[in-house]
Amino acid sequence: MDKKADVEMIKVVFAVLIAAVLLIIAYMIFGNYIKGFFSNEVKTFDSGKISPKEIPAEILDNVKKHESKINLVLANIQEDQLHSKVSKNLIIALVSYTSAGNQRFISECGSVGIIPLMPSTANIFGLNVFDDSRLIDCSNKAINTDYALKLKDKIFQMDNEEIKQIDQRFDSDKSIEMGIDYLSRLLKKFNNEEAMALSAFYMSPDFVEKNCKGGFSSCSEKNKEMKDFVVGILANKKYLDNINFSDKIA
């Protein structure tokens, strides 16, 4: 009887040892992923790996037309519970990469303006948008593209003043004010991590909170367009930093 109990005990101990070894192996393979999934800690993205990308002179010249307004808005951004200070070069890079300073810019996703905002974001800031749209992000390409095409058709023969009546995102001053305010809020929300804030700017804060628990690197492969957007803007910003464009924290 004792021998039988000893055999059973040996089996139990052996099974526990095997399970422990398997757990150790699994942790070695998947440990970083598991920690990133359950952790609320945002790991800083190493933007140093991004190569600078030159902004064409004609685009930069066009963006410079809005520089005085950008400077004014940046100067009025106050560090508080909702906002973080914003690098001027980050804003110039964002505008260069997206609208290129074009007041009439409409993306395929339906974002509009000098600093392109989605309809739902513009609604948060009290702006009137075309067709009273509530589009949040670019997750439904068919709906987004249809909306963008309808808006392009609507403003086709209108001048720059008339289009502001159709959608206030076409108002350059409002676009810059709301765009910088929004990015400032996102930087505050995501601990001044630019890659995370830009991801939320492109997709939505909810998407980033659900999919990027381990930082930008943990979710950058989940949406190629978002990754290209973030990396493209940070590459432009690095170019501006390298030429000392005027990276002032206003």
pLDDT at res. 33: 43
Phi first, then psi: give them for residue 49, nearest 5 degrees. -80, -10
Cα dihedral: 85, 88, 94, 96 (round 10): 170
Q: How confident is the model at residue 32 (pLDDT cuts 50, 70, 90)?
A: very low
- Site of tokens 């089996």: 11
- Determine the Cα–Cα distance for residues 94 and 128; give it in Å rounded to an integer: 23
19-23, 42-46, 79-83, 107-111: range with highest mean pLDDT: 107-111
pLDDT digits (tens, 9 = 90+) for 122-149: 999 999 999 988 899 888 889 999 999 9
CATH of domain 44-242: 1.10.530.10
pLDDT at res. 191: 95
**What would the DSSP string read from start to end of 13-64?**
HHHHHHHHHHHHHHHHHHHHHHHHHH----PPP-GGGSPP-PPPHHHHHHHH
Domain ranges of the chain: 1-38, 44-242
Two tokens, residue 203: 């997709």
pLDDT digits (tens, 9 = 90+) for 150-204: 999 999 999 999 999 999 999 999 999 999 999 999 999 999 999 999 999 999 9
Two tokens, residue 129: 């948008």
